Structure 1
């Protein structure tokens, strides 16, 4: 894909940019020949520049800022990001791109990767015309998560300090936000960008310069209006869980809350007076408790980045504020929460314990279109989660969500299974009162997994 991106930059004459704090001075120094690929994590991406207090900690000075384990072809320049978005949606552009099947200059392992990726890109190209036609005939709204920018984006306050105090990593993150704004954000809620962002965006593209690019990036990093709502029935509330985070007060290396106090209060105001609502939260608000417990253990050991330890319950303040919103008596009677991110699918029916007029809450998670969880590991987590945190388990009383009652839906009626480890696209059908009548996942082989409601007690 990076080879195709390089060709598009040349074909369209996309603007180059100057870099500060990088091993190269300009995006013109980026190369896209096969021999130059699969190398960016080694000689291009930024590293930390912390002062070395002792010889023991000196190794951390050059630790990679970006924590993705597959950053060999991480995009860095704005013209690369623009080319990627265009290739995602333009079948015509692919007709002008020629990616060779057999190339020289790669190691045997990377040559095997090239052959595999070449095959997949041909399949992507073949289906793109139909996908674009389909998407053009339905309303389409987007919301970023970390992989729209970089893996683990803003996961901890310590990650933020390293990323935003380094000129090159800040530019890479900012370029991704410019791309998201152009190709997704402006389409979601254009009025939100009219006063602050749109003039800077127009000025930069009218006369691209480093100063105007940095100014635009600074404003995008301060921007607090990425979230949006739609006046549909049910009302649709789409959350930004990446840029308004509740940073840990006790340890900068601990996971941040996915939304800070002010953002959560804004959410509550959107919900008051509504009888039914759909909330889009990139990460599940109610996740698999056992996996969250493993993430918490890893956090206590200082390895939060290793296990992607970000969930709504990871930060006490954010968790308690979120649960208080659901228990507020003026919030909707029907909550549907749509999520992804975790690389497996599941659905919970949730109510508040010991309350007669509890709202009906449905956590619906479909993830992902491509990725899935390690095949052998997820069934073990699924079974152990049922043993330790099943509906009747007393261990639930020791968790932050102890006042919530969770019942897992059964995929295709499987009696002891709740998690589905197969990529696909979620299907949700709602009744007039906002309650789900069908929760399912349509898979690439055209099979369907139906999440059947839990049995009544």
Structure 2
């Protein structure tokens, strides 16, 4: 199927373009997100089950909501079901849900199975049971039974196999065991890549986006002289030819410092951002075949690149059915990081001035944030999208903007208000900043959506931070200075208040999309680049420990309220576990506190350097040693100490801490891990079989050499669980990082990291 006309190919699509995706789920309510190609009223029912999920019982919850028309053929809804008689769902039980669709045009009804299927997709399976209904379980009452999955950085054309389909294996293996199947999924950033886009993916996204909207957006550009073009449509900016426009007209920094190749096919239009979410969650909107490189590209090099990327896309699409089924059967929560908009998004004040001061940059950022709001944030925080709330007002503005085919200025300005875009100064056309203590923050409307939120159960709480839109930029330093990732009022709203709202839980988890602590060599590179003012080359300012005042504030804010903290993070394209022990000298905190950082990255974006870190070579050449810091409370700050200095100077500080890397245990193979038949396309399998004899001769491909001690540097997915160690409620936290072996035959294996809390 090739994209010629939107009406032609949409006729071959089922009603459901993406979803159902189970999202915010708690004892009182269940929310399911869907993208449809026609306007419908959607009815959600939640059922009890018996026989360990195999038999449907009575329905317990019910809810209805009409879709929002975001385009001629794009109608999105997050429908929430609740009990009418105050019934609460319980842990240790399997529940199922079903959906009905009432078409607004003719009032015809469709079942869930009818809405999933069409001639191209005659058989769609999103269940693990014979009744064909998706199921879920709530978090358990006891921490040792809790199973949390997390991951980040999923680029469709990234190197290696996509690891998110492994989640489907984890659920399927224990689908009828409520204490063993995963209870929640947290995606911690870079769910899509707005900047680093494969040429074939942009080709699909542009065509699909225009078809879904039913119109083509006119993207504003700066006119340097009267005869210059004032607008571009997406089709006028074809794949592989966007670098100059993206860098000079939009102001994006992703292509600076010799990284031009990263932005050749940057997303810009609203339709492209909408389409990207449908394409990463579902196989429905992908074409059956792609055009060949010689039909699209002019040079031999570009042709080869296109064909190589097409192969990567086809491998990604091949396993999307497992991703779709998994996301229908586990509550999924997410938060953005920079690539959901563009690399370096809000990195520092210089980025904000450079991008948000350009009409095209401002438009593209707003498009990305609107797409995130309707595709992810709606399901994360459905209460913000209830009647008369900012989210509902945003949905109406988005619908009006599309209905006017991008001409309703009032609707556009309303979208800007509700997604939190700063106003521009009328004299300079630069974004407005306001003071928050000693730092500057982007100004925003009081009714703007909040992207942070908290998820709680009987045994754990998860505080999800927004470290992108509430940054504090140093007022007295140059615009490229590293920011506070949370400004003072953000610390209060996102950390202090949630920690104070509930009594101490058995487990407190904090999601920090960018790493709190990373490899020491990376810290050295960041500091070196900062001295050279090359901050955009390696995201200098995204790591918490570049701004020591902000890191000190982060640690002390946590330890004022909790003794045991688990931080979930991603961003850096490797998996690891580090343990921070915190000691108080001022008696302001508990005498002994612990923070364990669990990192899971990337789901699909391994790199040459991370593959080297993955092996024993990293531990031989650059082992991670214990690091020490001393810190102060007023004002908050901390300084790293050499080991020889630690004992002598720590008594002069208010607190001190030590950081150690937890080694990963030897690899293990799960029951479903041996030669998974679903993994490779026929072309990929034939290629691997052809070169299998050579792979076996490569020393660095051997299981022994690949079994490094500190990180998993290939694509991975993290499963977190806890172990009760004694009767004093002391726990160990474990992260099983699942990855695909590089030896033959290919296996799914996992490396276990184990740390005392």
Is the counterpart of residue 39 in structure 1 residue 266 in structure 2?
Answer: no
2:711 & 2:465 partners in 1: Cα distance?
24
Q: Could you tell me whether the CA contact under 8 Å between 1:15 and 1:79 is conserved in 2?
A: no
Greater relative contact order (Cα < 8 A, sep 6+): 2
Structure (1/2) with the larger helix percentage: 1
**Aligned counterpart, 1:204:** 398
1:326-381 alpha-carbon deviations (Å, 9 max, x no partner): 332xx123211100001112101221136774223211111111223543874559
Partner SS state of residue 361, structure 1: strand
Partner SS state of residue 404, structure 1: strand
- Residues 179-328 of structure 1: pairs in structure 2 closer than 5 A: 179-194=371-386, 195-206=389-400, 207-208=403-404, 209-210=406-407, 211=409, 212-220=411-419, 221=421, 222=444, 223=448, 225-232=450-457, 233-249=459-475, 250-266=477-493, 267-272=495-500, 273-275=503-505, 276-309=507-540, 310-328=542-560
The alignment's TM-score, normalised by the length of structure 1, stands at: 0.85
How far is 1:299 from its partner?
Answer: 0.6
**Aligned counterpart, 1:2:** 202
1:188 & 1:412 partners in 2: Cα distance?
34
**Aligned counterpart, 2:294:** 103
1:435 & 1:136 partners in 2: Cα distance?
31
Does the C-alpha gap of structure 1 residues 213 and 118 become closer, same or farther in structure 2, counting only changes over 3 Å? same
How far is 1:321 from its partner?
Answer: 1.1
1:92 & 1:48 partners in 2: Cα distance?
34
Partner SS state of residue 624, structure 2: helix
**Alignment RMSD, CA only?**
3.2
4+ long deviations beyond 6 Å: 398-402
Partner SS state of residue 490, structure 2: helix
Does the C-alpha gap of structure 1 residues 26 and 133 become closer, same or farther in structure 2, counting only changes over 3 Å? farther
**Aligned counterpart, 1:125:** 317
1:228 & 1:388 partners in 2: Cα distance?
33
2:234 & 2:464 partners in 1: Cα distance?
39
How far is 1:67 from its partner?
Answer: 4.3
Give the alignment partner of residue 624 of structure 2, picking from 347, 369, 386. Answer: 386
Give the alignment partner of residue 409 of structure 1, picking from 627, 647, 662. Answer: 662
Q: Could you tell me whether the CA contact under 8 Å between 1:171 and 1:214 is conserved in 2?
A: no
* Of 148-157 and 195-204, the range deviating more from structure 2: 195-204
* Of 241-250 and 84-93, the range deviating more from structure 2: 84-93
1:383 & 1:390 partners in 2: Cα distance?
21
Q: Could you tell me whether the CA contact under 8 Å between 2:337 and 2:468 is conserved in 1?
A: yes
Is the counterpart of residue 91 in structure 1 residue 283 in structure 2?
Answer: yes
- Residues 36-185 of structure 1: pairs in structure 2 closer than 5 A: 36-42=238-244, 44-47=245-248, 65-67=253-255, 69=259, 70-94=262-286, 96=287, 98-104=289-295, 105-185=297-377
* Of 177-186 and 7-16, the range deviating more from structure 2: 7-16
Partner SS state of residue 92, structure 1: coil
2:607 & 2:271 partners in 1: Cα distance?
32
1:103 & 1:301 partners in 2: Cα distance?
42
How far is 1:420 from its partner?
Answer: 2.6
Structure number with greater Rg is 2
Gaps of 5+ in 1: 50-62
2:733 & 2:283 partners in 1: Cα distance?
36
* Of 308-317 and 391-400, the range deviating more from structure 2: 391-400
Q: Could you tell me whether the CA contact under 8 Å between 1:67 and 1:152 is conserved in 2?
A: no
Does the C-alpha gap of structure 1 residues 239 and 156 become closer, same or farther in structure 2, counting only changes over 3 Å? same
1:128 & 1:286 partners in 2: Cα distance?
33
Does the C-alpha gap of structure 1 residues 318 and 448 become closer, same or farther in structure 2, counting only changes over 3 Å? same
1:99 & 1:85 partners in 2: Cα distance?
19
Q: Could you tell me whether the CA contact under 8 Å between 2:626 and 2:659 is conserved in 1?
A: no
1:95-137 alpha-carbon deviations (Å, 9 max, x no partner): x554123433332222121111111111122211121011100
1:41-99 alpha-carbon deviations (Å, 9 max, x no partner): 13x215279xxxxxxxxxxxxx75444630111000001111121222232222x5541
Does the C-alpha gap of structure 1 residues 191 and 453 become closer, same or farther in structure 2, counting only changes over 3 Å? closer
Does the C-alpha gap of structure 1 residues 254 and 157 become closer, same or farther in structure 2, counting only changes over 3 Å? same
Does the C-alpha gap of structure 1 residues 317 and 122 become closer, same or farther in structure 2, counting only changes over 3 Å? same
1:321 & 1:10 partners in 2: Cα distance?
46
**Aligned counterpart, 2:167:** none
How far is 1:31 from its partner?
Answer: 4.3
1:141-174 alpha-carbon deviations (Å, 9 max, x no partner): 1110001000010111011111111111010011
Q: Could you tell me whether the CA contact under 8 Å between 1:40 and 1:74 is conserved in 2?
A: yes
How far is 1:292 from its partner?
Answer: 1.6
**Aligned counterpart, 1:54:** none
Give the alignment partner of residue 599 of structure 2, picking from 351, 365, 382. Answer: 365
Structure (1/2) with the larger strand percentage: 2
1:46 & 1:201 partners in 2: Cα distance?
30
Q: Could you tell me whether the CA contact under 8 Å between 2:205 and 2:276 is conserved in 1?
A: yes
* Of 19-28 and 356-365, the range deviating more from structure 2: 19-28
Partner SS state of residue 350, structure 1: strand
2:358 & 2:370 partners in 1: Cα distance?
18
2:290 & 2:236 partners in 1: Cα distance?
15
Q: Could you tell me whether the CA contact under 8 Å between 2:397 and 2:414 is conserved in 1?
A: no
1:440 & 1:163 partners in 2: Cα distance?
40
1:270-321 alpha-carbon deviations (Å, 9 max, x no partner): 1233233111110122223342232022112211111211211222331221
How far is 1:258 from its partner?
Answer: 1.1
Q: Could you tell me whether the CA contact under 8 Å between 1:349 and 1:360 is conserved in 2?
A: yes
Q: Could you tell me whether the CA contact under 8 Å between 2:208 and 2:271 is conserved in 1?
A: no
Q: Could you tell me whether the CA contact under 8 Å between 2:665 and 2:752 is conserved in 1?
A: yes
Partner SS state of residue 359, structure 1: strand
Give the alignment partner of residue 738 of structure 2, picking from 439, 442, 454. Answer: 442
Q: Could you tell me whether the CA contact under 8 Å between 1:323 and 1:401 is conserved in 2?
A: no
2:231 & 2:619 partners in 1: Cα distance?
47
Q: Between Structure 1 and Structure 2, how many residues are aligned?
A: 435
**Aligned counterpart, 2:156:** none
1:441 & 1:247 partners in 2: Cα distance?
35
2:285 & 2:252 partners in 1: Cα distance?
34
